[in-house]
Amino acid sequence: MRKLGVLCVLLCVLCDLRLSASPYETISLSSEITRLQGLSRNQNTQSRVQAFLDLARLYRLSGDTEAALKAYEDAFVISPNDGQVLLEMGHLLVSQGEYDRALFAFNSLLSGNREMDLLVQGLYYISLLDAFRLGDTTALNGLVNEPLFRDYHSRILYTLWIITGDRSWQNRLLRDFPQSPEAGILSHRVELGVIPLWLFYPGRESITLSPEPFGLVFFQTGLYNLEENAQIAADSLRRSDFSPQILRRRVNDTDFWAVGVYSNMEENAVIRQLNNAGYDAFPVR
């Protein structure tokens, strides 16, 4: 199993605060915290829970994780079955390394009459924690082909590749989800930081990628109508000490699989290098 502290995207924690001021007014962090603390003493349970959630998000943005956790715990006491409270509290506990408590929060999402989205998230995060903590990818393997988890497939494929080192997961990620943040990591379109379990952090959806890796050109060595043949060609390139990629392309309503390598070297030099190894190649833009 590879080390838990894999290179990852440094994602900020996003919040969805409902501020009452107009766009032309400046609100200080302390005054907004004071306002939300007042709302948290409201008699209405739903209003109190929302106030504590907003407080927790503010504290997280300001870097005060202890105060954020206290706000989540207060919300949990008021409404222990609130799925959003459990989800956000689980995220924070993961970031603090309190995995057992995080598992309790995510497991709690599976009980009661939950919305399907919360059930899906609960199962995904439990499976992800099992993979990172124990190296057990059994649960993730079971989710990778499930339609309900389609929105998580790129993250699942990335995790399976990081933990197992099996390049088939990497190739499938680049082929099926070339515009995902995870594919961006593999093709150097996303800057990396050093944060363990980065997949738990909100904000991933705000990442946008350029159509091609920045500064890199794809040099195609073959185009195949069968994925198995593309994989064979990629394996051949790999044995020649190249780092091949397989990209799915659609031409005239038919799927093809392009095999090649990315490089930022001078084009003629790359083509010559591939030619010398026995591969015809040309740049594709």
Question: In the predicted model, is pLDDT for residue 10 greater than 50?
Answer: no
CA distance 91 to 33: 21
Which residue range(s) make up the domain with 265? 215-285
43/119 same-domain check: yes
- Looking at 167, 195, 213, which one is the last position of a domain? 213
Mean pLDDT score, 69-86: 89
pLDDT above 90 coverage of the chain, percent:
18
Distance between the two ends of the chain, CA-based, in angstroms? Answer: 37
Could you say which of 196, 213, 230 is where a domain stops?
213
Which pLDDT tens digit goes with each residue over 218-247? 899 999 989 899 999 999 998 988 888 888
Do 266 and 177 fall into the same domain?
A: no
Kind of pairing between the strands at 217-224 and 254-263? antiparallel
User: Do residue 229 and residue 185 come from a single domain?
Assistant: no
pLDDT of 25 above 80? no
Question: Are 240 and 139 members of one domain?
Answer: no
102: CATH: 1.25.40.10
Q: pTM for this one?
A: 0.58
Q: Are residues 202 and 243 in the same domain?
A: no
Contacts of 14 (CB under 8 A, 6+ apart): 202, 203, 206
Which of 165, 190, 213 is the last residue in one of the domains? 213
**Is the same domain home to 223 and 207?**
no
218 in Cβ contact with 247 (< 8 Å)? yes
Instruction: Examine residue 2 and state whether it is found in any structural domain, yes or no.
Output: no
**pLDDT score at 237:** 92
Check whether residue 113 and residue 191 sit in a common domain: yes
